[in-house]
Amino acid sequence: MRQRLTKDRRRGSGKQKQTRRRITLSVSADVVAYLQEFKRRSAAPSLSAAVDEMVAQFKMEKEKLSREALLSAYYDSLSQEEMNEDAAWGRLGAGTLEKIKS
């Protein structure tokens, strides 16, 4: 691998600095146009910043979907007795909140 492809760059301000790596990609003209439009809409200062933002958004969405799937699997696995117990705890908590508000 050529040296310029792995050169670390320090960016950021304040307390946390991020190590950045330069990479080279070949993408279609449609992808370039999409990235440039995303950069414009997001008001990112550079195409690199726009790609960072896009990947961060994608990662957050994937993690959210994963958490939702785990939560759904948990509730799908509950027996009727466990669901009734959860509902009872929910009613107790809601009643306690109402008393606190009053």
Is the pTM above the cut of 0.85? no
β strands within the chain, DSSP E: 8-11, 18-21
Residue 99: pLDDT band by 50, 70, 90 thresholds?
confident
Q: How far apart are CA 74 and CA 43, in angstroms?
A: 40
Q: How far apart are CA 99 and CA 102, in angstroms?
A: 5
Which 8-state DSSP code applies to residue 6?
Answer: S
- The answer to whether residue 81 is domain-embedded is yes
Tracing tokens 């414009």 back to the chain, one arrives at: 40
- The answer to whether residue 40 is domain-embedded is yes
- The answer to whether residue 52 is domain-embedded is yes
* Residue 95, domain extent: 28-101
- The total of structural domains in the chain comes to 1
pLDDT tens, position by position, 10-40: 555 444 667 889 999 999 999 999 999 999 9
- The answer to whether residue 63 is domain-embedded is yes
pLDDT tens, position by position, 67-86: 999 999 999 999 999 999 99
